[in-house]
Structures are given as C-alpha cells and as structure tokens.
Amino acid sequence: GNNITIKWDIISWTPDGYVATVTMFNYQQFRHIPAPGWQLGWSWAKKEVIWSMVGAQATEQGDCSKFKSAPPHCCKRDPTIVDLLPGTPFNQQIANCCKAGVIKTFNQDPGNAASSFQISVGLAGTTNKTVKMPKNFTLRAPGPGYTCGRALVGRPTKYYSSDGRRVTQALMSWNVTCTYSQFLAQKTPTCCVSLSSFYNDTIVNCPTCSCGCQNNITRPGSCVNDNSPYLQSAINGPGKLTGQPLVQCTSHMCPIRIHWHVKLNYKDYWRVKVTITNFNYRMNYTDWNMVAQHPNFDNITKLFSFNYKPLTPYGGRINDTAMFWGMKFYNDLLNQAGPLGNAQSELLMRKDSETFTFQKGWAFPRRVYFNGDNCVMPSPDDYPWLPSASPLTKQPWTLPLLVFWTALATLLAYYV
C-alpha cells in the first residue's frame, strides 16, 4: 500500500453518540508528513458535535450558542483537526498522539509512522444501524496533494492487552484511504539533479528553469541572492507563514539540488559522491529522504554517513532502487540555504563485469526522488561522456600501466 489510511474505530457508545479512536497510518515508503504537520477535515453526515477530544483539537469551535450549559469542543459542520504539541500534559494524551502532526515514513521510522486521537461525538447515532460516518474527508500534509476516498466499513480493529492474553475489539470500524499526487501538491517540481565525473571536466547543471524561471517582472521576490542586504527581510516576508519557498536565485530555481559525482574507479569497485543542497531559505528539511534508481544498487558495498534501505518495487525480482536518509542527530536535518545547507555521502559499489561501463552515461542514476517528489533530470544527451577511445571503458586498471609505459618509453628515448 502506498497511501495514508485513516481508521475510525468506535470503542464505546454514549447516551447521545459514541467515543472513537481515529488513527492515521502512513503506508507510504518514502513520503512523510513534515512540520507543521497534518490537518484532517470532514463533513458530518447529520448534526453531530464534538463533545471532547484527547490527543488532538479542532482549530475552531464554531457556533455552540444553542447549548445552555458546558458547550461542546466543536460545533462546526466541517471541523478541521490538528495534532497537539509534544509538551502536552499526560492527562490530555493518548498513545501515538502529540507529535505536532509529524508522521514519519514506514521505512525510516515504523514506530512513528502513525498518529492517533480520541474523539467523543454527540447528537449522533448510538447503534451500528443508526450511526453515520462523516463524508468528504480532506487531508493536508501540510499543503494540498492528498485526495481521500469514501469511508468504508471494515473489519473491527482488534486490541491486545499489555500482557497479550486478552483481545478486545472495536464496536465498529471504518477505513478511509488518502492517496498523494505530486501534480495536485504543486504545479512545479521541487528538486533537480546535476551530474559530474572524474573522466570529464564538464559539470552538467540542473536544466534551466527546472522548478521555475527567474523573472523579477512577473514574479518579483521569487528568489533572493545569498549576498543580498535584503535577505533577512525577504525571509520574514509575506510568504513566511504559508511556508512558501524562498529560494536562492539560480538558473534552475529549485529548493533542492542533488548532485551525483562519479568520483573514483578501482579494479573491482567504483565510488560515487552524492551531495544534497538546500536552496530554500525558509525551510529546514527534517527527516528528509532521497530515493534513486541505478542498476548497480544491487551491490552497494559500503555507504558513508547516510542510512540505506533497498526498495524492491517489482516484487523482489529487480533490486535497482534504494532509499537514503540522514543519520539521527548527525545529518537527518537538512539546514536552510546557506553554508550548512547540505548533506553528503559516498557510495562504494562492486562492479558486475557483465554490465559495468562508463559508456553512455551508465554510471548516472535513472531517476531521483526527494521526499517522495520526482526530481528533474538533465537530458541524456548532456551527460558527461567518456573521452573517445578511452582505456577506461573495459579495463580501468590499465590506465596507470599505460602511463607507466609511456613514461618509460619517454625516458628510454631520452637516454638512448
């Protein structure tokens, strides 16, 4: 499953409604929900209200004027729910709540790939027959991108006691599935890839205008130079609260650039250096991840300063896709644009004599994703090519030998 599933489990009936536990499971392998976190919305089927909540809160109370004594937590027909912050008092918490709306990916941190809250609903049905499920679920994480389906009745969720000897179950369970579309999330890409190699002086930059074009006439203030005296005031400008990216002025205008450098060539191995650079002045990327596709990923021998997990999207037959992410407290936070805004790693891969070559751009990745979004690649025609008739193509270790014989021949010619 590559989606976010919301489980709505009714755990008890009340005189005018029910108490439910609502849990969001992130089954996406490499797309997490970063700060400022998720916002979950729906429309009530009847005239329900939320009496109280544990582990989350509605952003607005709405009009509760018809309630004479203690008013409900929320009377809106279409409430929006947000998570509580980590310092919440324990008597207002339940398990898996209060992470400021941040949900990790299943691969990076399965223990934190879910978020829960408890809700007490009034003016609602009080039996399996009369209760009605909310409609029109929306999930923002934190921006647009997710589309949620209808709520479907599922098998009642089972709960195990702490000693594992007793099982209880929900009185009724509904499931809602939300899927992500990069196109819905933003019209332009958010990252690009640049390439270089030891065998060619050319550095292939990100394609021009990968994520948009510099245009101070139609889009003033869309980017800022790193030496601009107005840098700080631009960062604190009108887009700060909405989280709108403010990028350094570059030819590609992307918030993130991933550079793949083919660094060294040994007899049985070859080495690649990967550098992720943040050009966004308004964003620290916490728990970032990168996914890349390359045929030699079936033989990664050593990896420096990143975590790594192979992904097998084709049912395990082809192992050419890998997920990389930062090490906790070392580089799992990609700082905003500036001297510290990058993370680097080197990969050592064992050669397979059947397939390995430096010809025709084989040493470069086929696809790259950052935080689940597809990155713009240079055109294959622009890749760094091998110098023609290079001895590197088939027998890389003959190069030092060649240099040695040439030097020897020169010396002999000199002395003879």
pLDDT at residue 360, rounded to an integer: 85
Give pLDDT, residue 258: 97
Domain 3-184: assigned CATH number: 2.60.40.290
Residues 6+ apart with CB under 8 A from 183: none
- Asked if domains 3-184 and 188-382 share a fold, the reply is yes
Note the pLDDT of residue 416.
45
Q: Residue 333's pLDDT is what?
A: 87
What's the pLDDT at 100?
93
What are the residue boundaries of the structural domains of the chain, listed by start? 3-184, 188-382
pLDDT given for residue 185 in this prediction: 79
For the chain, 416 residues long, the average pLDDT of each consecutive 10-residue run is 91 97 93 91 96 97 93 97 94 92 90 95 95 96 90 94 93 96 82 94 93 73 82 80 82 95 92 95 90 90 88 70 90 87 92 88 93 92 74 45 50 49
8 Å CB contact between 18 and 116: no
The pLDDT assigned to 222 comes to 76
pLDDT score for 227: 84
In CATH terms, 188-382 corresponds, of 3.30.1360.70, 2.60.40.290, 3.20.20.140, 3.40.50.1820, to 2.60.40.290
